[in-house]
Chains A and B, each alone.
Chain A
Amino acid sequence: GAVVSQHPSWVICKSGTSVKIECRSLDFQATTMFWYRQFPKQSLMLMATSNEGSKATYEQGVEKDKFLINHASLTLSTLTVTSAHPEDSSFYICSAGGQAYEAFFGQGTRLTVV
């Protein structure tokens, strides 16, 4: 079946640095990808909807200048956490393909900012 690959699976970075997370659709083209975030013991929350060739749509409360999303091709969307701080430490996961509930999910990225 369709596969969405997310990289890296985990990353540790220093406070103030930027981190890029990649989300690739391996055997299908995705005009739309979704980015979610999960804080410990909380729900997965939609951060933004990434649209190929256009600007991402961010959910209320998500800083677009801090979480840069680029969807430059039909198989790749990237999320860059700029000037990361410890409060950005979280689990980030992407999905792509079909209706939101039928989308294929990546395996997630555990970000720890120290």
Chain B
Amino acid sequence: GDSVTQMEGPVTLSEEAFLTINCTYTATGYPSLFWYVQYPGEGLQLLLKATKADDKGSNKGFEATYRKETTSFHLEKGSVQVSDSAVYFCALYEAGSARQLTFGSGTQLTVLP
């Protein structure tokens, strides 16, 4: 079945540091891939998405490229801010899958000033 493996946290960085959160997936077909973010006390929000191989999703300075050859969708940001502190979830969605979204376990990011 489908699965998502996500880099374990927590991750602690200083402001303006480079961020990478690794995500790899297993799927039977050609899924769409997503990153969600959950700020403290709020619901998950869709951060970015990519629907086919080599697509790059981007939003708020975050980027992730759909790499079919390595089955990966790593999240990157060149310069993190304190306000980026949150939990980040990688997920996939395969059309026709009765399980809907398949999530990774989430990575807690803390950015220190």
Contact = CB atoms under 8 A, between A and B. Distances in A.
Contacts of A107: 38, 41-43
B43 A6 contact: yes
Contacts of A93: 43-44
16 contacts: A9-B41, A38-B105, A43-B3, A43-B102, A43-B106, A46-B101, A49-B100, A100-B93, A100-B100, A101-B46, A102-B46, A105-B44, A107-B38, A107-B41, A107-B42, A108-B38
A110 B2 CA distance: 26
Nearest to A45: B103
Nearest to A39: B105
Given A43-B4, A44-B106, A101 B101 contact: yes
Interface of B: 3-4, 8, 32, 34, 36, 38, 41-46, 49, 89, 91, 93, 99-106
Given A42-B105, A44-B89, A104 B43 contact: yes
A34 B101 CA distance: 10
Contacts of B43: 4, 6, 93, 95, 104-108
A22 to B, nearest CB: 14
A46 B8 CA distance: 21
Given A41-B105, A100-B93, A101-B93, A46 B44 contact: no
A44 B36 CA distance: 12
A7 B62 CA distance: 30
Contact of B104 (A43, A95, A104): A43
A59 interface: yes
B49 A101 contact: yes
A52 B101 CA distance: 20
Q: Which of A41, A43, A95 has the most CB of B within 10 A?
A: A43
